[in-house]
Chains A and B, each alone.
Chain A
Amino acid sequence: MAVAAGRASRVDIGRTAVEAALGTPGVIEVSAGAGERMHATAGEGERVPGVVVLAEDEERLLVGLHLVTSLEPLPALSERVRDSVLRAAAERGFDGRIGRIDVVIEDIVLDGPEAS
């Protein structure tokens, strides 16, 4: 769903980040934490679990992704996740609004699908 850059809400950005992260090899699912409520972005009657979007400064937003991944080098995986998120945001025209992207690995699945 295309979103005008100036109108991208926190929920739009959170949803884009989660979709991009889930499309990254090595990421199995997102984790919303205890009660499925700890790590989520809500607004406009919608809730996106597994991501927290906060103001970083007056223009940009900090995106915090909470992920369950397979067993592999996590620094490289987090870089791939960041690249995917920025690419997806650029496609929707709001990459300029994204500042830092924090990646928090909440669980590691040993026999999960290998990254290709």
Chain B
Amino acid sequence: MTPARGLARTVGVVLLAALALVGLGVAVFCLQDGDREVSLTALARYVELPALLDAIGGWLGRLEDSSDVEWWSVLGGASAILVGLVLLGSALRRHRQRAVTVADGPHGRLAVGRSALREAAETAAMDAGATGARARLRRRRLRADLLDVRATHPPAEAAQPTRASVEAGVEDVAAEVEAEPRVEVTAGGRGERAR
């Protein structure tokens, strides 16, 4: 879970709880009308809305009347909009699936954990002589998925032998999930050696 998504969830729960409590309070204070003890007017008095109006009324008036831009207000409003957009985006963004569905039929589904596939491809590349490897499975709509592996070869050696052996190792892993392998091999840093 990303921090933004975690924050969105926490804020969502807190806001919902707060909204429910406020709603309950307002509903209770709708029991009586006028200026009686359990009325909306009394509720406004209990939460000191008149005092709040005294405190910020001048500022609101200045916002309304002034032809000058209140830059602190603009900054606050813009920040609030930005935070709202981040939270909204985090809440609505489709969660990346932990497992990739390889096949789905009437008898059941076959799924492979992304990390399992990535680690298998990276280990295969390292076992094949790479000095480092990063793997990633890319989903494609109309074609087979792409198992993309970026590996490095020992700088003192030619790239081609490492490329050939890494491709062979990655092909085995890609075949497991019927994906298309793609291997890119570049020279590793000075002193790097295959294990």
A and B are partners in one complex rather than unrelated chains: yes
By DSSP majority rule, is chain A's interface helix, strand, loop, or mixed?
strand
- B176: which A residues are within 8 A, CB to CB? 71-74, 108
Identify the closest chain A residue to B99 (Cβ).
A104
CB distance from B145 to the nearest CB of A (A): 13
Assembly CA distance A114 to B152 (angstroms): 28
Identify the closest chain B residue to A107 (Cβ).
B116
Tell whether, in the assembled complex, residue A107 and residue B113 are in contact, meaning their CB atoms are under 8 Å apart.
yes
By DSSP majority rule, is chain B's interface helix, strand, loop, or mixed?
mixed
Identify the closest chain B residue to A104 (Cβ).
B111
Assembly CA distance A63 to B108 (angstroms): 9
Choose among B108, B119, B127, B178 the residue that contacts A100 (Cβ–Cβ < 8 A).
Answer: B108
Count A-B pairs with CB separation below 8 Å.
64
Q: Is A82's beta carbon under 8 Å from chain B?
A: yes
CB distance from A86 to the nearest CB of B (A): 9
Identify the closest chain B residue to A75 (Cβ).
B103
- B111: which A residues are within 8 A, CB to CB? 102-105
Q: Please judge, given known A-B contacts A74-B110, A78-B110, A101-B107, whether A108 and B117 are in contact too, CB under 8 Å.
A: yes
Identify the closest chain B residue to A31 (Cβ).
B113
Q: Is A106's beta carbon under 8 Å from chain B?
A: yes
- B124: which A residues are within 8 A, CB to CB? 71, 110
| 0 or 1 for each of B167-180: is its CB under 8 Å from A? (1 = yes) | 00000110111100
Q: Please judge, given known A-B contacts A78-B103, A108-B119, A108-B120, whether A103 and B108 are in contact too, CB under 8 Å.
A: yes
Q: Is B83's beta carbon under 8 Å from chain A?
A: no
27 contacts between A and B (CB under 8 A): A71-B124, A71-B172, A71-B173, A73-B175, A73-B176, A74-B177, A75-B102, A75-B110, A78-B103, A78-B108, A78-B110, A101-B108, A102-B109, A102-B110, A103-B109, A103-B110, A104-B99, A104-B110, A104-B112, A104-B113, A105-B99, A105-B112, A105-B116, A106-B116, A108-B119, A110-B123, A110-B124
Chain A positions near chain B (C-beta within 8 angstroms) = 63, 71-75, 78, 82, 100-108, 110
Chain B positions near chain A (C-beta within 8 angstroms) = 99, 102-103, 106-113, 116-117, 119-120, 123-124, 127, 172-173, 175-178
Q: Which 5 A-B pairs have the closest CB atoms?
A: A108-B120, A101-B108, A100-B108, A78-B110, A105-B112
